[in-house]
Amino acid sequence: MVYTYDADADVLYVLLVDESDAAIDRTEELGPNLHVDLDVDGSVVGVEFLYPRSHGIDAEPVKVRYGIDLRIPFSFAA
């Protein structure tokens, strides 16, 4: 997993595949601040958390829907 945080936009992106294999076909919204990028086969390519600094990180919907436990190794202080 590769974690990228854009402090200006307050967006955390978690890339789950090798960057060279990251062919995004569509994006599914699991909540107002949680988007999942899928490839053509429906496999998860990456997960985007909007506003993690102010809204926190809730990865449970990804685990429930796709069986992926992201285990984000850090948190954001408000």
Q: What is the pLDDT along the chain (78 residues), one digit of tens a residue?
A: 899 999 999 999 999 999 888 899 999 999 999 999 999 999 999 999 999 998 989 999 999 999 999 988 877 665
Judge if pTM exceeds 0.85. yes
Name the phi and psi angles at 35, rounded to 5.
-125, 140
CA atoms of 42 and 5, how far apart (whole Å): 24
The domain segmentation of the chain, as residue ranges, is 2-66
DSSP state string for 41-76: TS-EEEEEEE-HHHH----HHHHHHH------S---
CA atoms of 64 and 45, how far apart (whole Å): 16
Length of the chain: 78
